[in-house]
A and B are shown apart, each in its own frame.
Chain A
C-alpha cells in the first residue's frame, strides 16, 4: 500500500507542475498579461495576441505528451503499469 501512496504523491506533484504551466500560458499570458505583452512584436503578431490565439494551444499539446511520457515512466518505476496481454 505504501508503494501505491508514494506513486500517488509523485503523480499529484507532476500534475501540479504541469497545471501551473497550463495556467501561466493561458490565463496568465493569454488573458491577464495580454495587454502588457502586446507591446512586444513576435514576427507579425503582437505577443499577447499570439499567445492567446496560437501559443497557448501549442503548449497544451506539448503538456499532454510530456504527461504521457512521464506517467509511463512513473508506472514502471513503481511497478504499477498494466501487464502486456498474454
Chain B
C-alpha cells in the first residue's frame, strides 16, 4: 500500500481511539474537569505527563535541531529533562499537598493577594497560548505533507478532535487520552530509531548504536565518521560545542527552570491521590520521557550522517522522491550555483533569508528562487523541522513506518495542545470567574463556564494554526523565559521561605517578567540586527534571558520582603502544613 493510504488508516485508527476514550471518561464535576477527581494512578499520570510534555517540538523538531547543532543541542536534552528533577524535589509534592486546582490558586492564596493571582493568571494565559500556536503549526505541517490536505483543513480536523475530548472530558478525558497518545508517540518514535540503528550499526538499541562502529565492516565508530565528514564540509566536528560556555549554561538553566515552572506540567501533579504519588509520578514521567530524550540524539546523529551521505555531491536528477516532496512544500531548496547539476552541501547559508520560491524550473528541474545568494558555496537549504519526519524515508524504511511516524507526530501535538487548552480554561473559569469576579456561582455553572472557555480557546488556537503568526518560533523562548522568571521563583520561595510576603513576591514577579520580556522583545523584535554575542548582556542570548530574570526575581523579592511586614500567621501556618505530607 502507498504511504498516503497507510497514513489515513493509522491516523484514522488513533483518532477513533481518542474519541472512544473521551466518551468513556466524561467529566461530571469541576473536580473531574480540573484535576480528574484527584484519583489518577501515578503510572497513568506519569504517562499523561510525558505525553503532555512531549510536544510537536520534542517529537518533530528536537532531533532535527540537534542534528544541525551537534553537541550544543544538548541544551534541549538536559534542559527539558533536568527540569523534572527540580519539579519532583522542589515543587510537585508540596503543591499536591496544597490541594487546589491551579498555579494561580497557589500564588493567590500563599501571597494572600488578588494582585498576585492576577499576575499569575496573565502569565499562565500568555505561556499557554504561545505554546498552543506552536502545536498547531506542527499539526498543519504533518497534515499538508502526508495527507495532502490543505493546512487549514488539517488544523480544523485536529482542532475538532481536541474540542471533542477536552470539552466533554476536561482533565479526566485529557488524562486518559494522553495515556493512549503516549503509547502511540513513543512507539512511533522508537520503531524507526531502532530500524535505523540496526541498519547503520547492527546495534538494535539506538542509545548504544550511535556509540558503536558502522555496519559496513570498516571498524570505524559512527561518531568518528560523522566528525570526519562534518569537518571536511566545513561544519566543524559534530561532537564539539560552538556556543560560549556561559551562554550554554544560561540557556540550559532557563529551559530547566522554565520546564519546572510551566503551568500545564505542574497541574498534572494535582491529579494524583497523595503526596507520595506526586513524587513517584514525577519519577515515572521522567523515565518515560527519557526513553525518547536519550534516543533523540542518536536519531540526530544517524539522520545527519544519512543526510550528508545522500545529498552531498549527489546529482539533483537522481535524488530520491522525498527530496522533491519536501521541496514541493518549500522546506528544502536548492540552487545550482556552479551549474554542475550536483548538490554542494557545505557550511554557511545557501541564500539570504528563508527561501522565496518563484514560478519556473531550473536546468535540472529544481524549483527557482528569488533569494540572493548567501556568502558561501553552499547550495542547499534544509528546514530543520523535517529531519524526524523525513528520516524513515531517507533511510529507505518501509511505508508503514512512515505512516506510523505521522500518527506519532499528531499524537504529540494534540496531547500537548489539550493540556494547554485545559490550563487556559481553568485560568478563566476557575481563577478569574469563580475566585474573583463571580464567587457565588455553583459547581454546575462553573463547569459550564469551563466548557465554554475550552471551546473558545480551541477556536482561538485553531485560528492561530491556520494563520500562524510569523513569530511562533521566536515566542517559544518567551514561554520558557517567563515560566523561569515568574512562576518558578515565587512558588519555590512560597514553599521554602516562610518569611516571603506578598510585597516581595509581587515585585519579584513583576521585575522578572519585565526584564525577561524587555530583553527578548528588544533582541527579537525591536532590534534583531543586534541579536549577536557582541551586544548581549554578559554574552547571554535571549533564549537564556529567563536565567537572568529568575536571578533578578529572587534578589528583588528577598530585598523587598526584608523591609516589609511578615505574612499573616494563617499563611505561615499554611506553609507549615504543605511541608508535611500528613493531614
Contacts and interface: CB of A to CB of B under 8 A. Distances in A.
A25 to B, nearest CB: 9
B271 interface: no
Contacts of A43: 208, 211-212
Interface string B166-181: 0000000000000000
A85 to B, nearest CB: 8
Main secondary structure of the interface of B (DSSP, over half): helix
Given A19-B89, A60-B85, A34 B287 contact: no
Interface string A6-32: 011001100100110010001100111
A73 B318 CA distance: 65
Contacts of B279: 64, 67-68, 71
Interface in B269-319: 274-276, 279-280, 282-283, 286-287, 290, 293-294, 297
B74 A30 contact: yes
Contacts of A71: 93, 276, 279
Nearest to A8: B579
A54 B582 contact: no
B89 A18 contact: yes
Contacts of A53: 66, 71, 73-74, 77, 294, 297
Interface in A46-86: 46, 48-50, 52-54, 56-58, 60-61, 63-65, 67-68, 71-72, 75, 79-83
Interface string B219-235: 00111100000000000
A67 B283 CA distance: 9
B582 A63 contact: no
A9 to B, nearest CB: 11
A38 to B, nearest CB: 7
B71 A34 contact: yes
Interface residues of B, number: 52
B61 interface: no
Given A44-B221, A46-B239, A57 B290 contact: yes
Contacts of B222: 44
B241 interface: yes
Contact of A68 (B213, B249, B256, B280): B280
Contacts of B85: 18-19, 22, 60, 63-64
B82 A60 contact: yes
B90 interface: yes
A40 interface: no
Contact of A81 (B90, B224, B276, B576): B276
B78 A44 contact: no
B78 A4 contact: no
Contact of A4 (B77, B88, B297, B576): B576
A18 B87 CA distance: 13
Given A80-B580, A82-B581, A45 B211 contact: yes
Contacts of B210: 44-45
B89 A57 contact: no
Interface residues of A, number: 46
Contacts of A60: 81-82, 84-85, 286, 290
Most buried by A among B84, B88, B89: B89
Contact of B212 (A4, A38, A44, A64): A44
A44 B213 contact: yes
Contact of A61 (B73, B240, B245, B283): B283
Nearest to A33: B245
A15 B275 contact: no
B248 interface: yes
Contacts of A72: 276
A65 B276 CA distance: 12
B581 A64 contact: no
Nearest to A78: B580
B236 to A, nearest CB: 13
A76 B16 CA distance: 46
A65 B281 CA distance: 10
B293 A27 contact: no
Most buried by A among B85, B212, B279, B283: B85
Contacts of A56: 77-78, 81-82
B207 interface: yes
B483 interface: no
Contact of A45 (B223, B256, B274, B582): B223
A23 to B, nearest CB: 9
A14 B239 CA distance: 35
B211 A44 contact: yes
Interface in B54-76: 66, 71, 73-74
Given A19-B89, A64-B286, A27 B252 contact: yes
Given A18-B89, A64-B282, A7 B78 contact: no
B84 A64 contact: yes
Contacts of A58: 290, 294
B124 interface: no
B253 interface: yes
A52 B579 contact: no
A64 B77 contact: no
Q: Which 8 A-B pairs have the closest CB atoms?
A: A44-B211, A52-B74, A44-B221, A53-B297, A64-B283, A49-B239, A80-B580, A43-B211
7 contacts: A11-B579, A30-B74, A43-B211, A45-B211, A53-B77, A71-B93, A75-B582
Given A64-B279, A71-B276, 4 more contacts: A64-B282, A68-B280, A71-B93, A82-B581
